[in-house]
A = this chain, B = another copy of it.
Amino acid sequence: MFYFLMDLLGTVAFAISGVLVAMDKRLDLFGVFIIAFVTAVGGGTLRDLLIGNTPVAWMLESTYIITIIGTVIPAIIFREKLRYLRKSFFLFDTLGIGLYTMVGIEKGLNANLLPVMCIILGTITASFGGVIRDILCNEIPVIFRKEIYATACIVGGSSYFLLRKLPLGDEYVYLASILIVIGIRLVAVKYKIALPGIYKTK
């Protein structure tokens, strides 16, 4: 239940981030909807394809589609106001990353995969929707260039496997890991922390 709610909240957060990018590219109504859709379900779709055997989650449950439609329509109607709320959406998006990371890890554990694969699946769930969004909009995916994004997922995901060894309730470990992902991203963006450069500045 908790797990399902997390998944839906993440879906709303990512759908809105898709709408914002698609409208920057001035796509038509259908384009906006599709970009919102792939941003929201793209990561989970790739995760489910890689795990195999599990069917792709959103095919079996109309909840995802309904949630996305119910997010995109008001987002388009109130599009003028969305602009003023960019800061809140950044928070939303960050929340989505934290939630989706743990959803991916959970699915990996259910499929009896190694911790390292679970962490990769969590990172894919959280970040790949944005990668597809950027590819469809003909951009080099933003996460490859400047943001601490996937790194936050990887660190948060690893923390989960460490914290699990402590005598804590499962919900606390969950929550702590989500907060670690969110915290790292917020701190990184606030203080403009990026991965160490590997190029000589020109």
Q: Which residues of A contact B (CB under 8 A)?
A: 22-23, 25-32, 34-35, 45, 49-56, 59-60, 62, 65, 76, 79, 113-114, 116-117, 120, 131, 135-141, 143-146, 150-151, 194-199
Chain B residues with CB below 8 A from A120, complex form: 65
Residues of B near A150 (CB, < 8 A) are 30, 34
Q: Is the CB of A144 within 8 A of B56?
A: no
Knowing A116-B62, A117-B59 are in contact, say whether A145-B50 is a contact too (CB < 8 A).
Answer: no
Please determine whether B27 and A144 come into contact, CB atoms closer than 8 angstroms: yes
CB pair A113–B59 under 8 Å, yes or no, is yes
> How many identical chains are in the complex?
3
CB contacts (< 8 Å) of A25 on chain B: these are 140
**CB pair B56 A55 closer than 8 Å:** no
Q: A65 vs B115: C-alpha distance in the bound complex, in angstroms?
A: 12
A139/B138 in contact, CB under 8 A = yes
Distance (whole angstroms) from the CB of A67 to the closest CB of chain B: 13
Contacts of A55 in B (CB 8 A): 51-53
Contact of A143 among B30, B54, B144 (CB under 8 A): B30
